[in-house]
Amino acid sequence: MVSKLINEFETLGLYFGLAALFFFIGMAIQDVLKKGNVPFFGRAVVWLVLFLGCSGFIAKGLIQVFWQGAGVS
């Protein structure tokens, strides 16, 4: 029981950590694009990819934890 709970926290931590890493890398890219006078459309594409990547990692972590909790793994 405890090891299953620890495993779920590790899974959530992994995917939330990946989402945070993806976010910070995207913010660094955004900062470079802003200093390079890239048009708004180019920066909007970076924001879209950043949002989809972060939400994808978070969703993957939550889905995996719920599947493990239900015993579907």
Give the model's pLDDT for residue 36.
81
pLDDT at 73: 54
- Evaluate whether 14 touches 61 at the Cβ level (below 8 Å): yes
Residue spans of the chain under pLDDT 50: none
**Residues near 18 by beta carbon (within 8 Å), at least 6 away in sequence:** 57
CA dist., res. 15 & res. 20, Å (int): 9
